[in-house]
Structures are given as C-alpha cells and as structure tokens.
Amino acid sequence: MIAVYDLVKKFGDFTAVDGLTLEARAGEIHGFLGPNGAGKTTTIQMIAGLLKPTAGRIVVNGYDLATDTEAAKASLGFIPDRPFIYEKLTAGEFLRFHGALYGLNGNGVGDRVAEMLDLFELREWEDELVESFSHGMRQRLVMSAAFLHRPRALLVDEPMIGLDPRGARLIKAVFRRMSERGVAILMSTHTLEVAQEMCDRISIVVKGRIIARGTVEELQRMAGSPDAQLTPVFLKLTGGSGLQEIDEAF
Ligand SMILES: Nc1ncnc2c1ncn2[C@@H]1O[C@H](COP(=O)(O)OP(=O)(O)OP(=O)(O)O)[C@@H](O)[C@H]1O
Ligand SMILES: [Mg+2]
C-alpha cells in the first residue's frame, strides 16, 4: 500500500500540497488526476523520498517513510516523469547498477535483468549506450528498472507519455497483472481514457487538495453527469473547459 496523511509541502510562501490524504491499497490501481500545477509530482516526489514534506505522514507497505526509510524505499518501485539515466551506461549496465542499489547481486540478478529486457523488448539493446535510445526506449528501460526488485507498491508519474501503442498496451497489461498479484499502484496521468480503463479508484487534486475521490461511476455521479467519458466529468469537477477564453482571445 501507499498512504499519505495530511501531507503538506510549502515552497517558501507557496503551498503546493495542502493537507493531502490518499491511499492506494494492496491490489488497487489508484489514479491521481488533476490540472497542471495541482501538486501531483510534488506529492509523488515526497512519497519517493526525493522531497521532504513540510508536514504529514507517508507510509509504504506499512513502513513509515520518516522512520523506516530503507524498508519503505526497498518495497517501492518508482517511475518518475522525468527520469535521469546515465547516458554513458548501456541498458544492461544501467539495470545491474539499479539492481545493486536495491541489494540485488550475484546469480539471480543477471536472469532478472534478462527477464526485464525481454519483457520490455529491449534485449537487443542490452549492450547499447543509453545515449542512443529514443524517448520511448528510455521509458521502457526506466520501467524495467522500477520492476526489477519486485516492489510491493508502485509509484508512477505519467507513465504513458511518449509510449507507442504497443508500449502503452504492454505497460497497461503489466500494471494490471501486478495489481492482480496484490501490488498497490498510485499513478498520475492526464490520459483520462487510461484512467477510466485502468483505475479502481481515482483521486482528483486541485491546488494541493483532494476535491473528489471515487470510482469512475462515483465521480460521474458527483459531477451530476451520467456521461460515459471521464473528460467532461474531470472538467466539471476541476472547473471549466477554458473554451470561453479562446473565444475571447481570437
Ligand atoms: N521546487 C519548487 N519550487 C517552487 N515551486 C515549486 C517547486 N516544485 C513545484 N513547485 C510548484 O508547485 C506546484 C505543483 O507542481 P507539481 O509539479 O507538483 O504539479 P503537477 O500536478 O505535477 O502538474 P503537471 O500536471 O503539470 O505535471 C506548481 O505551482 C509548481 O510551480
Ligand atoms: Mg507533474
């Protein structure tokens, strides 16, 4: 599970995350939706341990991130929105390096790296430098790394950006299988079709606060819109389409 309680992050006077409580349970794919600048990446970076919360509590698989930091991080897989990969490593080196960071050494790790390279169709690129990789290949490599140590919870910031249809289908299937095996997944996305298709529950954040939470059907009811598509529901809940401004500007 991934849970945050009353999480706050201030940058100077500006409050980016404003008392946010949220839980992705074991076996649940939980969507984290909201407009640009709502505080999704900031929240995700705090859960990943990259940013220190101003206040609040973060628990990953029962481990408090503040006190059981190592255990919390070891049980978490993280796919950032802007991954950093050492350009001068090969794909294989990157994965083995990443594995070592998670304590994967020795005999098993080679097999596991090969398994991930096969799954993400990168096997023929194993000995190529990352600097020669396309955007989508980098995405797939970062995902290989995130799954390497069999995390019990997965934290994902915008997984679908830049993936081709085959890659997107693969990653959806992987997420589904992981959730069936009991992995908790917290996933931010702007791709509402993906959210609608994949998420058991969705939390919508606006200005650092959760303004709505529920299944797709519950959100539709909240918006008073029986519409099958999530986009109009999202726009209604988060306030307006912006189309009127276009009319005025042109
Ligand atoms: N290091 C920082 N210093 C100051 N302000 C920041 C910093 N990081 C984020 N912010 C601000 O916090 C707010 C939330 O940003 P965040 O990146 O979490 O949004 P987001 O929901 O991920 O948006 P997007 O959908 O565009 O990815 C924004 O107003 C942003 O400018
Ligand atoms: Mg973001």
> Each residue of 190-242: pLDDT tens digit?
988 899 999 999 999 999 999 999 999 999 888 887 776 888 888 888 886 66
Q: Do 49 and 173 reside in the same domain of the chain? A: yes
Q: Do 19 and 56 reside in the same domain of the chain? A: yes
Q: Is 249 within a domain?
A: no
Give the number of residues written for the chain. Answer: 250
Q: Do 97 and 139 reside in the same domain of the chain? A: yes
Q: Which mutation among 41, 81, 191 tests ligand 1's pocket best, with the greatest number of atoms within 8 A of CB?
A: 41
Q: Do 143 and 196 reside in the same domain of the chain? A: no
Q: Do 202 and 161 reside in the same domain of the chain? A: yes
State the distance from the centre of ligand 2 to the C-alpha of 174, rounded, in angstroms: 22
* Domain with 164 in it: 1-75+151-214
Q: Do 16 and 61 reside in the same domain of the chain? A: yes
Hey, what long-range contacts does 100-107 have (CB within 8 A, 24 or more apart)?
102/74, 102/148, 102/149, 103/74, 103/149, 104/148, 104/149
- Report residue 29's pLDDT band, with 50, 70 and 90 as the boundaries: very high
Q: Do 13 and 66 reside in the same domain of the chain? A: yes
What is the β-pairing status of strands 2-11 and 55-60?
antiparallel
Residue 128 to residues 37, 90, 91, Cα–Cα distance (Å): 36, 5, 6
| More confident site: 165 or 162 | 165
- Report residue 186's pLDDT band, with 50, 70 and 90 as the boundaries: very high
Beta bridge partners of 212: 204
Q: Do 5 and 123 reside in the same domain of the chain? A: no
Q: What is the pLDDT of residue 144?
A: 93
SS3 state at 176 = helix
Cβ neighbors of 190 (< 8 A, separation 6 or more) are 33, 158
What's the total number of domains in the chain? Answer: 2
| More confident site: 146 or 247 | 146
Q: Do 50 and 143 reside in the same domain of the chain? A: no
Q: Do 68 and 108 reside in the same domain of the chain? A: no
Give the C-alpha separation, 117 to 49, whole Å: 27
| Per-chain residues with Cβ under 5 A from ion ligand 2 | 40-41
Ligand 1 site, residue 50, Cβ cutoff 6 A: no
